[in-house]
Each structure stands twice: as structure tokens, then as C-alpha cells.
Amino acid sequence: MKAKTSATKKFRTQRRLNCDLPGLGKPGALDRRPYGPGQHGAGRKKPSEYALRLMEKQKLTAHYHIHERSLQRFVRDSHRAGVNWISELSRRLEMRLDSLVFRMQWAPSMQAARQMVRHGHFLVNGKKLTISSAVLTVGDVIEVQGTSKEHKNILQCQTRPRLDLPTFLEKTEPLKGKIVAEPTSADIPFNYNERLIAEYYATRGRK
């Protein structure tokens, strides 16, 4: 019952945001019912400008499976980087270790990737790293450590990956890969509007 409830919640989240979010690990929500959840989902009014911005931010927290406080920290760090902060935010989110594990096709969802990182299933540059929010850099090598190569999630994803391997990653072996470039906003694996995110945080004064 718990698994069914969790799956239903993930479907409802994607329908409410009108977006397929790969990080939730539940594809097809919009194929089944391409409108918001609930009895009156198909007839709801057009969302306000603020609601559109809020929904765009909620896509990030849902897909990357992070709390609002964590996202705010990433926004602040991106502002301090001295570059285009919204592009830097996209880069940092995709370069998180749990996101990289998901994009390497070793976990069926972001939540699963985070749990697997915390349980010590991965090595970064030959050393075990259990901090899922760690932001890696170009040139770093990620691999599945020896005793984890038969993990059920890893075996499943080898035959049924959720996403194609992005161009900023390269697999040198099936269970070993390298970051070969900086990800950009175009690498975010769902419909994503940078302008609405920037406007959302501008109106709330959070930097």
C-alpha cells in the first residue's frame, strides 16, 4: 500500500506541474491524464503569473528531490559565483553526485540515487563518497564500487535506463564514467524555463 501511495503521489505531482519529471522515476503520468489532478483538474483556470513561477521552482525541488532550504542554498551559492547565476544553478544541480549517479543510468530515480550514495555504493576518483549533495567537477571519475555491482537498482537500470546518457558524461566502462564537460541549462532533462526561475527568486528577494 505504501508503494502504491508513493507512486500515486509522484503521478499527481507531475500532472499538477504539467511536466514529465524523470527524477521521480515514474514516467507516463501525462500520457494517462494530461491535466491537473483531482475531480476538476481538466477544467481549472489558467494559473497566475506568480503560480507559473512557483511551479517552475517546484519542478526543481521535485525532480532533484531536494527541500526548499537546499535549493535556496544552491541559489545563494550560484549568485556568489560571479557568473550568470541561473545558468550556474543549472550546472550545480546537474553536478551533484546523486544527480550524476542518476544520469549515469545507475539509479531509477533521484531518491534512489541519493540513498545509494549515502549507503556507500560509489567511488569518486577512487575514494568512497557518501555526500549526495557534493558538487563534482569536470575530470572527476565516478564508478560503482566492487561489492555494489550486483545491486538490484544498478542491474535494472543497465537494461532499462530512465534517460539517455547526456553529452557531458562519458562511460569508460559500464559501471565507470567520467565528467567530460560542464552541463548547461539545455542538459536539464525536463521542460525548464530559466526566466521564470529567475523572476521567482527576484520577486522574493532571495539571493
Mean pLDDT of the 111-127 span: 97
Give every CB contact of residue 40 below 8 A, 6+ residues apart in sequence. Answer: none
Q: What CATH number does the domain located at 96-181 have?
A: 3.10.290.10
pLDDT band at 162 (very low <50, low <70, confident <90, very high): confident
User: What are the extents of the domains in the chain?
Assistant: 2-92+191-204, 96-181
pLDDT digit string, tens, across residues 30-48: 765 545 555 545 556 678 9
% of the chain residues with pLDDT over 70: 88
Place of cell 500515486: 8
Could you tell me which of 137, 140, 145, 67 has the C-alpha nearest to residue 106? 145
Across the chain, what does the average pLDDT equal? Answer: 89
Mean pLDDT of the 83-102 span: 95
CA 23 to chain centre: 5
For 2-92+191-204, the fitting CATH number among 1.10.1050.10, 3.40.50.2300, 3.20.20.60, 1.25.40.10 is 1.10.1050.10
Strand, helix or coil for residue 143: strand
Instruction: Read off the pTM.
Output: 0.87
Could you tell me which of 26, 79, 45 has the C-alpha nearest to residue 190? 26
Could you tell me which of 124, 130, 126 has the C-alpha nearest to residue 104? 124
